Amino acid sequence: MKPLRSIAANAVALLLFTLAWHATTLVVRSPFYPKPLDVLKAFCKLALEGDIEGYSLGLHIGVSLLRVISGFLFACATGIPLGLAMGLYRPAYESTRSIIEPVRFIPPIAWIPLAIVLLRGFSRYVFLIWLGAFFPVFINTLASIHRVSQVHVELAKVFGGDRSFILAKVVIPSIMPEVLAGMRIGLGVGWMCIVAAEMIGGEMVGLGSLILKYAELLRVPEVICGMVVIGVVGLLMNELFLAAERRLFKWRREVVV
């Protein structure tokens, strides 16, 4: 679809969705099922005046972003080198599968009790987001090694290229698209962990904290507002990443979502 058409179509879909939402509120008529307009009002109030404790929405977003990005960067700093090492030296992965694979399927929420007992402050957030972001980054890097073409390796060899040359000039450029795609997914998953992470943080700022704060007060419009903001920020981060991928990998015909 052409960009302009796509924007127009999405605007129409969004409008229809909002109208449908509004229509259902007329049927349901529950005080805990707000109208779109109530959420918009809550948004304006949170953005302009701040929450019940005076923290503005911008601050909530900023603090959550800082936590997620820290955890995400930590996940990249660990996941990429480990994935690269295990991808290049396959036995290391094959012989530790029994540890890696089960851990991968433990949801970050299940780690919360341990995180409460063992960690405090900022490190709790970083740990939980790291758990969410690490595996997409790690697994994508690991799997990407297969993408390295044997012909490219032989080409480098026949020119006399040594191991470090092959790593720097063949392996890393070959796997970059996969690694970046893994990073994009990891950032998304890390961002999705923000509510769980902030549930245990015990601090009053952050989008997750905002949702929980208003949930306790049974004020649903603010809760939905927090949810929508999480969704939209996630979308923007993803789009930003995609734009970077398109720029970096313009040698590929297209970047597939």
Partner 1 sequence: MDVEVKGIVKSFGELLVLDHISFNVRSGEFVAVCGPTGCGKTTLMKIIAGLLKPDSGEVLLAGEPVDYRRHNIGFVFQEPSYLPWRTVWGNVKFGLEAKVSSLGWKLTREEVDKRVKWAIELVGLEGFESYYPHQISGGMKQKVALAQALATDPHLLLMDEPFGALDIQTRYYMENELLRVWSKLRKTVIFVTHYIEEAVYLADRVIVLSSLPAKVKAEVDVSLPRPRDVTSSRFVEIRREITELIRWW
Q: How far is the CB of 164 from partner 1 (least distance, A)?
A: 8
> In the set 160, 216, 256, 257, which binds partner 1 (CB under 8 A)?
160
Tell me how crowded residue 146 is: count the other CB atoms within 10 A of its CB: 11
Tell me how crowded residue 158 is: count the other CB atoms within 10 A of its CB: 8
Q: How far is the CB of 154 from partner 1 (least distance, A)?
A: 6
Nearer to partner 1 (CB atom), residue 131 or residue 255: 255
Give me 206's structure tokens: 């952050």
Q: How far is the CB of 183 from partner 1 (least distance, A)?
A: 17
Instruction: For tokens 């503005």, name the residue.
Output: 56
Nearer to partner 1 (CB atom), residue 104 or residue 252: 252
Task: Note whether 1 binds partner 1 by CB under 8 A.
Answer: no
Task: Note whether 157 binds partner 1 by CB under 8 A.
Answer: yes
Q: Are 93 and 243 in contact (CB under 8 A)?
A: no
Region binding partner 1 by CB under 8 A among candidate stretches 64-72, 116-124, 161-169, 184-192 = 161-169
| Cα separation, 241 vs 129, whole angstroms | 18
Binders of partner 1 among residues 77 to 136 (CB under 8 A) are none
Q: Are 231 and 89 in contact (CB under 8 A)?
A: no
Q: Are 37 and 18 in contact (CB under 8 A)?
A: no
String marking each residue 176-195 x if it binds partner 1 according to CB under 8 A: x-------------------
> In the set 1, 26, 28, 158, which binds partner 1 (CB under 8 A)?
158
Region binding partner 1 by CB under 8 A among candidate stretches 100-108, 150-158, 185-193, 195-203 = 150-158
Region binding partner 1 by CB under 8 A among candidate stretches 54-62, 72-80, 225-233, 245-253 = 245-253
Per rule CB under 8 A, count of chain residues that contact partner 1: 23
Closest CA to 201 of 58, 68, 47, 42: 68
Query: Which run of H or of E encompasses 201?
Result: none
- Under DSSP, the state recorded for 192 is H
| Cα separation, 207 vs 198, whole angstroms | 8
Task: Note whether 162 binds partner 1 by CB under 8 A.
Answer: yes
Sign of CA dihedral 23, 24, 30, 35: negative
Give me 44's structure tokens: 């304006």
Footprint of partner 1 on this chain (CB under 8 A)?
A: 151-152, 154-162, 164-165, 169-170, 173-174, 176, 249-253
